[in-house]
Amino acid sequence: MHTLEQVRSGELAGITRLKISQQLTSFPSEILTLADSLEILDLTDNRLSQLPDDFAKLTKLRIVFMSNNCFTELPKVLGACPNLEMIGFKSNQITTVDETALPEKLRWLILTDNKITQLPDSLGLRPRLQKLALAGNQLTELPATMAQLHNLELIRLSANRLQAFPIQLLDLPKLAWLAFSGNDFNRHQQVDNDLPQVSPADYQLQHVLGQGASGVISLATWRNNAHQLADDIAVKVFKGEVTSDGYPQDELNACLKTGRHPNLVQSLAHVTDPKHLALVMALIPAHFKNLGLPPTFETCTRDTFPDGFELTIKQIDSMVAQMTDVITHMQNQGVSHGDIYAHNVLFDDEANILVGDFGAASIYDDQPKEIQQKMKTIESRALGYFIEDLLSVCQTQDRTSPTFQKLHNQAQNLI
């Protein structure tokens, strides 16, 4: 974290990345003195509502974050920034996105949790766009021009007001991660399931094990195990009304509809109290660990791995077989996971995997058959990318094996 005083003093001359959070109400003109070097500007958690017309003097700027501010429109001057690729304006009060506000080189746009009712046709005229986060707005339809986004790989559309399925996305050749729950055409579908309901009074939350966009997972112990469920449990308590992936109720519904599979984190019971929406899960054995790391600014939509991390081709082959079975199971239930990634997978030394995180899951078995089939194609493409990512960390001596070639061919056929 930096301070405005450091910028004013000249201490930060030549800096490439600047982050300031000081309840700023106006854009500090001193930042423009960094135009010769600044590539990443993070002014999240301030009180800004406008950018100056000369903001485009930041000609080397590639990434800008201004989430949790007070903007009511996406600043038009962003469209004049010659090298701007990534824009993050999550959780403002944006209602309007002008035709001219989107830079030509745009790859990654985050407008989650705003009040946008309409998007400009120019959005579909940004050929480099790969990642688009629009959950938690008031969109009733998408521009028809989005059918031209041939490099789009991930889009989040949950918790909007879409009146019909956005069919212009279904034939995009690279789309692999699509989330659309909680819209007017599919809001909070009713789901049949055989999981028992329990009360928050039936368990005691212990320490936090982890948390994500949609909730907090804690170790828990039973106070009243009336259904004689597993002794070792974790409880995911969902966060507020809407998250970066959509409504918690839709995530819970998708999880319940998917049901049980040996390679899914096992759900045991659920809580329907609206003040404490929660999912009780079997505690994951301690020897499981994360398979991958999330994408970076550079990789955009593709997973990363720790330095030096390697897998044998035998491990990869086993993991791919298990993931394929998981996706087939979910497709048979009419559910898209929407977030098939190595960073959402746990594995052990025997190459057993567990898939979790249903935050981006969507139910589609109530859609026409043609849409259902294309949703399966999209999710299968995610499997292809998953295979590619694992092969990228395959041990060198295994890269000439027949199994490596088989998996490579499988990925290419899916992609």
Q: Detail the residues annotated as belonging to a binding site.
A: 236
In 246-307, which residue ranges form alpha helices assigned H by DSSP?
Answer: 248-258
- Euclidean distance between CA atoms 338 and 345, whole angstroms: 13
User: CB-hemisphere CA count at 13 Å for 143?
Assistant: 15
Name the residue with tokens 């088989």: 406
301 C-beta neighbours (distance < 10 Å), count = 18
Going by the annotation, the residues of the binding site for ATP are: 236
* Dihedral Cα 216, 220, 222, 223, nearest 10 deg: -80
Burial of 289 (0-12, 13-18, 19+ CB in 10 A): exposed
Q: Are 359 and 341 in contact (CB under 8 A)?
A: no
Strands 154-156 and 131-133: parallel
Phi, psi of 285 (to 5 degrees): -55, 145
Q: Are 204 and 220 in contact (CB under 8 A)?
A: yes
CA distances from 307 to 290, 293, 304, 310 (A): 14, 11, 9, 9
289-290: strand order across its sheet: 289-290, 345-347, 353-355
278-282: strand order across its sheet: 203-211, 215-222, 233-238, 278-282, 267-271
CA torsion sign for 145, 148, 151, 153 is positive
Phi, psi of 281 (to 5 degrees): -125, 155
CA torsion sign for 49, 113, 44, 298 is negative
